[in-house]
Every structure is written in structure tokens, then in C-alpha cells.
Structure 1
Amino acid sequence: MSSFEGHIVVERQRAMWNWWASLAARPWAPSLALLALCLAVYLPGVVRLPAVDRTEIIYAETTRGMVERGDWTDPRYGSVVHQYRPIGTFWAQGAARWLAGEAFARDITVYRIPSLLAVTLAVLALFWLGRGLVGAETALIAAALFAVSPLTVLVSQLAIAEGLSLLPATVAMVALARIYTKPDEPLSLALLFWIALGFGILINALLVPILIVATLIALYVMDRDLTWLKRLRPFMGLPIALAIGAWWLIIRSHQDGTPFAGMDWRAFLGALGGAQDMKLRAFPGTFVLAVVLGFLPGTVLIGTAFKRFWDSREQALSRFLLAWVLGYIAYLELLSSKPGTYMVQTMFPALALGVAIVVTNESGLGKRPPWSFFTIWPTYFAALPLVVFAGVYLFTGEVPGLIPAVLIAIIAVLFIWSGRLGWEGQLRRWAAIGVAALALFAVTLLGIVLPSIDRIWPAREIAKAIAKCPAQNAALIGFREPSGRFVLGIPFEQQMPEALAQAVEEKIPTLSIIEDRWRKRTNWTLQSKSQPPLPPPTGCVTAYNVMRGCPLHFRIYSPNPAQPCAVPAAFVCPENTPQTGPEKSGDCD
């Protein structure tokens, strides 16, 4: 093919897929398109995914209790004070719960709404503010890639602080990038930076400040200049940020007398770094791996983007994007004890901008981008979604139904198609098909497949089994995950055999749900109180504790065996169910 013919083909391809530019050029169309994309991708999982143990439910149950008590300055999970979880997240979830009303107090969807809104606004903010950095078309592609990245979708689905903090992190960092790269940016942009910083502290402690400081350190290493920081108007902006974020410390003082009183040094550092803690140090490379797997489809062009920006690091924008990613990933790998799945999303706007720049600058037929994953044969791209879905079904022992099977096949085809487009160098088309592939992947996995697998949601299964039992005192023994408290309304003090024995002794009618591992101990406890052993069960529930990785077998005992509560046919115990027997080994509660 001659260079002239190649140029004609490229121009035809651009004309065929110039709707990225056409859409970006219209006043409201790109914002509405991104809003529709976010709602279509996020809503199915937000609405259909059951409450996910454990962090999400701890947030939701804490908020529910705070609103129920009417004390908005004292978020507690039972008797536990959340010293390391800033108040802003509880306030946002509490507002959603208050607006929804008491009837929805135990509906996890209500507590996820702030995360859904914050992540959606973060996607829109990347487009709105990114236009001033890279142009409307590139910013639109970046926002779409950011929106459908698996780990972005994840935090939009869960009632945790990381979803909410993604908005102030994105606003603060893109505003900072514009101030760094363009000396003539208006004062309003500096004010926006400080406001976002303040809300970031209110929502998730020092996560956003740490992101900013890590980026500034990396920038200083590259250009040895911090004089541009005066364009932030710190003497005017810092008090604004502190006025917003200081509520976190005010609440801590209200609860503790002295903020963070009683915390050791490691716990204190963990509290400053955000709301998540992994207890154990992650192995080296955890956060890099989270970026690689969690930033699809943009992952395939990360290498290309880094190579381009490293070669052009004399340009201000290239330096800033490199510093944003390298500075923060260094902090995470060296110091953070947080889960990679929740912490790397704040780098995704930078990665999305970098990949989008490659897409708009280097799209051309027959020219595969160097340093990309497009050197892999396109058919192999289908392995990514197929491995995920196969793993889910093999783990649970389920067989996909017709609709999920068809959707999984379509997703595999879209992955292959996007790989083929990248192989051919048609990057604008790759971006469009890649966004569609990841969007359908998220909807299918989180909105259809996982919610339909009953056995991985123990609390939901128990709730279905006892739905027709009369409202009464209940005991749940052998399953102490937070979902037992939030979904079923059974407090921890009702989750031990001693509590059941006490209730029986005081002649309080108690519906008992007991896991097989705890049945013998429960009988011993009842007999120690001179009470009869457990009667024959009226229902049985088989489930799986994903948090601990072990099967669960519950039996339901009515307080009055002569008039057992009715359970659906699916939960009727098999005939000749043994009432005694050896305890199963392992601790799965």
C-alpha cells in the first residue's frame, strides 16, 4: 500500500468513527452520553447486588444506627467507635437513608447511592475539567475509559468511602494539573482545588492530601521547581480546605476527648491514610497488579502512554501525568496497608488521559502502537472475561443460564473485536468497542451473574427462609459476619449459644438459626441451663461464606415446635436429617 493510499484509508476510518469528535463538539451531548453510560453500567449492580460483607455492611449498619439514634456526630458499629473512618461518608449515607425513610433502613441500595453519584460525578468532572488540558474529544474518550474500568465500577457499587472520595480526588488532581501546566488559569480553579481537598479530608481522611503530596514530590524530582505552587493561592485556599475538612477532627474530639486517643502509632498512620486496612502487608507489586487488572480496557495502552510521556517529559502535561501515577504508586507500594482494589482508582484519571491522548494522536490503520498489548493475537483477548466467568461458576458449582451464557458469548466477541481493532491500529474504534465490552462485562457480572448465585449470599438466603415466620426474637449462631446484623437485624449479642440459652430460660420465644458446627455446643449450653435440647428443625439453609471460604449448613428451629413457622419449599430439610453427629472441623463463623 502506497503512502497516499494509506492516507486515504486512514481518513476514511476517521470519517467513519469521527462521532467521538462530533459528540464532544456538541454542548450537552457528551455529558448526557457519559451520564447514560454511568447509569447503565452502575445501576444494575447497585440495585441487584446483595449486601457484600464486610466493609460495606459495617458502613451501612453504622450509618443506620447513627440515623436511628438521631446522633449524627457519633457513628458506631455496635459499641465500636470508628476512629479511622471520617464522618463525611456517614453523613452522605445518612442523608440518603433519611430521605429514603425507615421502610428502607435495611436496604443496602440506599447506602450505595452516594457512591453511585460520586463516581458518576467523578467521570463527568474528568471530562469537564480535562477539556482544558487535552481537548474535548480526548477528554471524552478518557472519561469513558475511566467510567468502565473494573475497579472504578467496583467502588461505584459499594457503600464505602473510596467511592465517594474518588470525586474530590479527581477534581483536585485535574485542577492541579491545569494550574501546573497553564499559568493563566483563573482563580476559580484554585478555589475548586482547595474545596475538593477539604471534602476529600472530610470523606476519607488524608487519602487525597497524600495523593497530592506524592505527586508534588515526584514533580519536584523531575523539574526541581515548586515556585508554581503560588498559583494555588495557598493563603486564601488552605483555610477553606481546613474549614471543610476540620469537621473530621471536631467529631473525633467529640467522641474521644483527644482525637485518636488510645491508638498506637501504626493504627494512627493507618487512620490518616484512609478508611481501609488490610491487617497484613501486601506482597510487593500488589498495587501495580491492581492497576493492570483494574484499568481495562485502557491497560493495553498503558505501556505506550508511559513510553510517549517519558520521551516527552520536557512537556509540562507529560511530567504531571507521570508524577501523578509514579508518585502515588511508590507511596502505595512502600507505605500503604490498604487493599489495592480500593486504592488505585485515584490514578485512573491520569492513566485514562494518557491513553486517550495516544488514541487521538496515533490512531491509524495498520500501525500497531509500540509498547502495547496489541501484539497479542486478538482471539486471546477473549480469555480475560471467560476466565472470570468460568472462575465464578466453577467456584460456586453453578451452571450459567441461557441469558448469562449469551451475554458472556457477546462479551467474548467484543473483547476479540476490540483486540483486532487495536492490532490494526484503529484506536478510536478500539476505544468505542472496548468501552462497550467492559460496560457489558460489568453489567453481566455484577448485575446478573453474581446476584443470581444464591448460595454465596448466606444472609439473603436465611432472610428468604424465615420471611414468613412471625416477627419475634431471633438468634443466629455460627455466622458472625456483619450481614447477619444488617440484613437480618440480629445483633452480635444474639449470635452466641449463651444468649439463646438465656432467652429460653427467661421463656422469651426465640427463632433460632444455628450452623451445624455450633449445634452440639448449643445443645450443651442449653442442657447446662437445665433446658431441653434443640427440637427438630423446621427449615434448612445451605450457603457459602465467601469471606472465610467455607460451606455453611444452617438449621432453623421454631420457638414452638408444635406450631413451626412455615418456610418455603426450597428450604424444607431433607427427610431423615440427623439431629446429632460429629462437629465439622474448621471455624467458619
Structure 2
Amino acid sequence: MSGSVPSSAIAENSAGLRTEPDRRPLWLRIAGRRLLAPVILLALALAMIVPGVFQVPPLDRDEPRFAQATKQMVESGDYVDIRFQDEPRHKKPVGIYWLQSAAVAASGKGADAPIWVYRLPSQVGAVLAVILTYWAARAFLPPSAALLAGLFTALAIILGVEARLAKTDAVLLACIVASQGALARLWLKAQEINLPRGRPWPILFLFWTSLSASILIKGPVGLMVVGLTIAALSAATRKLGWIRTLAPLPGILYLLLLVSPWFVAIWIATDGQFFQEAVGKDFVGKLATGQESHGAPPLTHLAAMLGTFWPLPGFLLLAFTQLKGRLMSPPVLFALCWALPSWVVFELVATKLPHYTLPILPALAILAAALVGAETRRPAGKALRWAASVLYFVPAAVLAAAAIAAPVHLGIWPSPPGAVIALLSLVFSLAAVRYLLRDKPLAATGPAILASLLIAAGTWGFTMPSLSPIWISPRLAETVRQTAGCTDPEVATAGFSEPSYVFLQGTGTLLSTAEGAATFLAEAAPADCRVAVIDMRQEPRFKEEASAAGLGLREAARVQGLNINGGRKLDIGVYLKEGTGRD
């Protein structure tokens, strides 16, 4: 897409925020070319997010809830209402479920598709977010600086996590960055900064379409981020007239045309209950109270971003030294108007989760990219250089140590490739620290990229899949399959009701009590193939009820491990009616 400011104009239009050619490392001079940079970003994004996507089982609890709801859409053919088993799931709009359903259909595997198929929209969304960050930055910056912005986004830990989860946030980020990249061009056009005259309909189409898509993905979040950016730009420049460039009246009508059909359909299908749950309880509840034990005080997000946005914070700290005299330059002003208002809102909201601040990651990446290679740089003081180095190295060291400490804590041997790769990443992390201590952030980007690639490959490709004690649901589903004596057993579970188990075992899995599970087995006809899955804490009551009903039990197997939600040790028995199943 066109509309970026030519590289030759950066010096006069961005207050000297052009990366000096002789300051750039060789790799950046080669990769930072207009046609090559997006290809480099595509390759890097895939290298960062693909490891582990096929091997890591469903991660409780949000991911399997989304995936299971999509699975039931595919099974039932109802693509309007959203349900988890028999319960309505009226929390988010339908967009992500449609995308996951499309991925399932394209895979040809049907509703029983493995979890990686449901993750494909998140994978695509993450890659698009990286490429679109580059495109958004190109509204202000030359290709090499825009490449850095895309790199900082691609390397961030939080994007790597969300790219591997079958939920909304990676796709939402892509929608927001597309809207913001279009908004940047429309804002610059209103300032008449080296952009062609005339109404840019392709950019307007992208702006309103991506904003509409964000609403269908996660309700008002995208609208809030974009709206606050518009408000902040207007306040900072003391101009409102530029908003006419957005074509607000036809744009809003077009947005309503795109989003209203499903909202009307879900109103009719649920008699308005979707809005009562999604807005009245879920959205408003998160604003007012810390839902699901996720409440935290203000500034929690700021502290969390030091880890979740890694490796960006260390570079961003050194970039702040270059802010003086550049606050009103277009890239800096736009990035700050994008990041700061939304960050304040996120801090004020009672419910706090690490991924909430993901929409401001590209803004901070653009800000850092614009400043670390500033043409006239102010040297950073020793204390600041050490602080930046600590911000960079501590998360890297923690991640490397976790590759060894986490398996040991679980009582298993560390994955040898995972441990070796983690230790190797420390070598490149230390190389990056060496450059940061010398106030050479551009030189530090090379080893930082290599360290991030190694951490992603080691953590997701080897360490995470090897943590068998926490992957209870897949081991339990496989145990049931092996012991049931049939291909499609009916299963009741008491004391273990993780969404990942429902997704893996099947939609018909009965989440019950000890009494209900005993009755479930006792009422089985001779031709039925039934299995009861009973947590150790429920077993005495289960056996008591079975004895009272005259039910003979056979304990076919046991599955033990650690529940990652709460850290509770689990010991689960797999029971069949005496005389049934496979010995």
C-alpha cells in the first residue's frame, strides 16, 4: 500500500529522526531496503511464532474455551450463537470463531481437528501485525527504521505467546495496527506533509474495514485505542478539522453495515442475553472489579510490560534520551498519542492481564525505532546505560534459567536441546548487553535478534512440550482411549473439569460430581462404553455411591500431574464398570 513519506523527506519532516547510514550495522543496511525489509520481517515472524505451535497441547483455560466453542459451531452448523457445551459463552463477538471455523474447514479435518488448526488465525494475525507495524512506521520513517519497528514487535514475548493461543488477541492486534497505519497516513495528509492531494479512498477503506473487524473480534477495544489516538492527536495539535479527512459519516455508516448483521442476529437468537452478559457483566465487570482473581493496582501493567514486551524496554529506555526537541515530530507524536492514553485506561481498569496492553506494543516499537537511530544523538549517562542493560538481560536470564529450573521443579529431566539452546541464547544476550553499556543500541539489535530466536525455539520447540506433568488433559484423554475398549467412549468426570479436557475428550464429556459419575456408570447398558474420570479428592464419595448402587468398579489407570491453574497436584483415577473395557 502506498502513502509513506519518502526517505529523502525524513530529515526535514521528522525533526532529524533519520537513521544515519554510517551508524547502522551492516545487516541493517542490507535488510533495510524497501522491497527486502518486509520479506525479512515475514521470515523472522515465522521463525519466532511457529516453534511449538504443533507440539504444545491446549493451554488452559481461555484457549480451549475458544477452540471448544468453535468446535461446537462446526459440529452444529450454528454460526451465530456461541456456546461451551450447553452453556452460552456470551463474552466476545463472533469474529474469532468464524476465523477458526474457516481454518477448520480449510484443514479438511472437521471438528476433530487438532489444536494447531484452531491456532492458525492467531498465527496469521501475529505475522500480519508485524508486517503492518512496518507499514505503519513507513508513514514516517525510512525502510531501515521501519524494519526495526517491525523487529521489536516480532521479538516481543507477549506476541509470541498470543500467536500460539487460539484466542482473540493476535488477530485484534493486526486489526488495530492496520487501522493505526491508515490513520497515520490520513493524519499526515491533513497536515499536508508530502502526501498527494485528493481523498485517499483505499486508505479510508482499510481504516474503516479493519476497525469494523476489530469490533467483531473483541468488541470496543480496537475502537477505544483508535478513538483515543484521534483524541490525543487533536489535543496535542489543537486541531479538530483534520478529522474530516477520515470521512466520518460515510465511514461510520459503512462500519455499521459490516458489524450490525451479526449483532442483530445474536440479539434475536439469544433474546438480548448476549448483550446483557457481554456488556453488562463481562465488559463492565472488568472495568469495575478484578474478575476471576485478576485484579491489580495501577502501574501493574507498566511493571509487567518490562517482561512481556522484552526485548523492547531496554532499547526504549535509551531511546527516551533522544526525546528532547522531538516530541512534536510526526513519528514521536503519533506513537505517544497511540500508546499513552490507552496505557492510562488499561492501568485504571480493575481487571489486569498481561495481554491487555498488547495493542500499544507497536506504538512503543515505532517510538524506539524512530529514536535509537536519531541523526543527532545525545549520549546516555552511565546509570541509564546500566539500567537499560539490566532491563534487557534480566528477562533473558530468567527465561534461560526457566528452561532448566521448570523441569527440575516438576521432577523431570530438562529437555537437552531446550537447555543447550537456552544457555546459548545467554551468549548473544551478553553480546547485546555489551553494546547497550557502550550506548550503541543499533549495534545491540543484531545479537538481541539472535537471542530472541534461540529463546523462542528452545522454550516453545523443546522445553514446553517436554513438561509432561502439566499436560494432564492430553495424557488423560489418551489413557481413556486406550482403556475404554471402544473408539468413542462416553466419559463423565468429577473433580477435573479443565476446558482442555473437554476439547480433547469431546463435546459430550459430562462434567459431573462423584455421585453423578457413579450413577453414570451404574446406568450403563451392556452395549454402552462408559468411563468415569475421578479426581483423588472425589474418589471416596464416588466409591461409596458405587457400592450403594451395587456397582462393581475396575480402576483401569491413574494419571498424575500438576494443574497449571493454581499449581495443585492431581491424581486422577480412570474407572470402568467391572467386566468392561480393555485390560
How much has 1:73 moved relative to structure 2? 1.1
What is the CA deviation profile of residues 52-73 of structure 1, one whole-angstrom value per residue up to 9, with x for unaligned ones? 1111100000000011001111
How much has 1:482 moved relative to structure 2? 0.7
**Following the alignment from structure 2 to structure 1, what is the Cα–Cα distance between the partners of residues 21 and 135?**
29
For 1:19, the equivalent position in structure 2 comes to: 27
For 2:53, the equivalent position in structure 1 comes to: 46
Report 1:531-570 matches (<5 A). 531-532=550-551, 534-535=553-554, 537-561=555-579, 565-566=582-583
For 2:8, the equivalent position in structure 1 comes to: none
Pair 1:105-2:124 in alignment: no
Secondary structure at the counterpart of residue 89 of structure 1: helix
How much has 1:551 moved relative to structure 2? 0.5
How much has 1:44 moved relative to structure 2? 1.6
**Following the alignment from structure 1 to structure 2, what is the Cα–Cα distance between the partners of residues 522 and 481?**
19
CA contact (8 A) 2:319 2:372 kept: no
How much has 1:553 moved relative to structure 2? 0.8
For 1:483, the equivalent position in structure 2 comes to: 500
Is the alpha carbon distance of 1:457 and 1:268 closer, same or farther for their aligned partners in structure 2, counting shifts above 3 Å? Answer: closer
**Following the alignment from structure 1 to structure 2, what is the Cα–Cα distance between the partners of residues 51 and 153?**
15
For 1:582, the equivalent position in structure 2 comes to: none
Is the alpha carbon distance of 1:517 and 1:310 closer, same or farther for their aligned partners in structure 2, counting shifts above 3 Å? Answer: farther
RMSD of aligned alpha carbons: 2.9
CA contact (8 A) 1:295 1:348 kept: yes
Report 1:133-144 matches (<5 A). 133-144=140-151
Pair 1:417-2:437 in alignment: no
Secondary structure at the counterpart of residue 32 of structure 2: helix
For 1:115, the equivalent position in structure 2 comes to: 122
Pair 1:196-2:210 in alignment: yes
Consecutive unaligned residues of structure 2, counting only runs of 5 or more, are 1-18
Secondary structure at the counterpart of residue 562 of structure 2: strand
Pair 1:249-2:266 in alignment: no
Report 1:50-65 matches (<5 A). 50-65=57-72
Letter in 2 for 1:500: A
For 1:147, the equivalent position in structure 2 comes to: 154
For 1:502, the equivalent position in structure 2 comes to: 519
How much has 1:213 moved relative to structure 2? 2.2
What is the CA deviation profile of residues 169-200 of structure 1, one whole-angstrom value per residue up to 9, with x for unaligned ones? 11111222232234345342222111110111
For 2:180, the equivalent position in structure 1 comes to: 173
For 2:44, the equivalent position in structure 1 comes to: 37
How much has 1:45 moved relative to structure 2? 2.1
Letter in 2 for 1:450: M
**Following the alignment from structure 2 to structure 1, what is the Cα–Cα distance between the partners of residues 230 and 407?**
45
CA contact (8 A) 2:417 2:458 kept: no
Secondary structure at the counterpart of residue 48 of structure 1: coil
**Equivalent residue in structure 1 for 2:163, among 152, 156, 166:** 156
CA contact (8 A) 2:69 2:84 kept: yes
Is the alpha carbon distance of 1:366 and 1:406 closer, same or farther for their aligned partners in structure 2, counting shifts above 3 Å? Answer: farther
> How many percent of aligned residue pairs carry the same amino acid?
25
What is the CA deviation profile of residues 402-432 of structure 1, one whole-angstrom value per residue up to 9, with x for unaligned ones? 2122111111111111111222233223112
Is the alpha carbon distance of 1:364 and 1:309 closer, same or farther for their aligned partners in structure 2, counting shifts above 3 Å? Answer: closer
How much has 1:154 moved relative to structure 2? 0.9
Letter in 1 for 2:553: L
**Equivalent residue in structure 1 for 2:306, among 287, 292, 295:** 292
How much has 1:38 moved relative to structure 2? 1.6
CA contact (8 A) 2:104 2:111 kept: yes
What is the CA deviation profile of residues 350-372 of structure 1, one whole-angstrom value per residue up to 9, with x for unaligned ones? 11111112232269999779845
Letter in 1 for 2:157: P
**Following the alignment from structure 1 to structure 2, what is the Cα–Cα distance between the partners of residues 394 and 79?**
40
TM-score between the two structures when normalised by the length of structure 2: 0.87
Pair 1:342-2:362 in alignment: no
**Following the alignment from structure 1 to structure 2, what is the Cα–Cα distance between the partners of residues 367 and 206?**
40
Letter in 2 for 1:35: L
Consecutive unaligned residues of structure 1, counting only runs of 5 or more, are 1-9, 567-589
**Following the alignment from structure 1 to structure 2, what is the Cα–Cα distance between the partners of residues 103 and 300?**
45
How much has 1:99 moved relative to structure 2? 1.9
Is the alpha carbon distance of 1:347 and 1:407 closer, same or farther for their aligned partners in structure 2, counting shifts above 3 Å? Answer: same
For 1:521, the equivalent position in structure 2 comes to: 541
CA contact (8 A) 1:42 1:116 kept: yes
How much has 1:243 moved relative to structure 2? 1.9
Secondary structure at the counterpart of residue 573 of structure 2: strand
The number of aligned residues is: 549
**Following the alignment from structure 1 to structure 2, what is the Cα–Cα distance between the partners of residues 298 and 249?**
38
**Following the alignment from structure 2 to structure 1, what is the Cα–Cα distance between the partners of residues 458 and 84?**
33
Is the alpha carbon distance of 1:397 and 1:425 closer, same or farther for their aligned partners in structure 2, counting shifts above 3 Å? Answer: same
How much has 1:98 moved relative to structure 2? 1.6
Secondary structure at the counterpart of residue 25 of structure 1: coil
How much has 1:85 moved relative to structure 2? 1.0
**Following the alignment from structure 1 to structure 2, what is the Cα–Cα distance between the partners of residues 54 and 287?**
21
Is the alpha carbon distance of 1:378 and 1:119 closer, same or farther for their aligned partners in structure 2, counting shifts above 3 Å? Answer: closer
**Following the alignment from structure 1 to structure 2, what is the Cα–Cα distance between the partners of residues 188 and 227?**
21
Is the alpha carbon distance of 1:382 and 1:405 closer, same or farther for their aligned partners in structure 2, counting shifts above 3 Å? Answer: same
**Equivalent residue in structure 1 for 2:242, among 228, 232, 242:** 228
CA contact (8 A) 1:118 1:163 kept: yes
**Equivalent residue in structure 2 for 1:240, among 223, 247, 254:** 254
Letter in 1 for 2:514: P
**Following the alignment from structure 2 to structure 1, what is the Cα–Cα distance between the partners of residues 310 and 278?**
38
CA contact (8 A) 1:87 1:251 kept: no
Secondary structure at the counterpart of residue 554 of structure 1: strand
**Following the alignment from structure 1 to structure 2, what is the Cα–Cα distance between the partners of residues 288 and 345?**
12
CA contact (8 A) 1:93 1:111 kept: yes
What is the CA deviation profile of residues 514-560 of structure 1, one whole-angstrom value per residue up to 9, with x for unaligned ones? 221111010122234x223533x232211111112101112222334
**Equivalent residue in structure 2 for 1:356, among 369, 388, 396:** 369
What is the CA deviation profile of residues 336-391 of structure 1, one whole-angstrom value per residue up to 9, with x for unaligned ones? 5252x221111111111111122322699997798453454997675333344355
What is the CA deviation profile of residues 11-57 of structure 1, one whole-angstrom value per residue up to 9, with x for unaligned ones? 99747x23323223252x22222111122221122111110111110
**Following the alignment from structure 1 to structure 2, what is the Cα–Cα distance between the partners of residues 105 and 377?**
43
Which stretch of the first structure deviates more once superposed, 179-188 or 445-454? 179-188
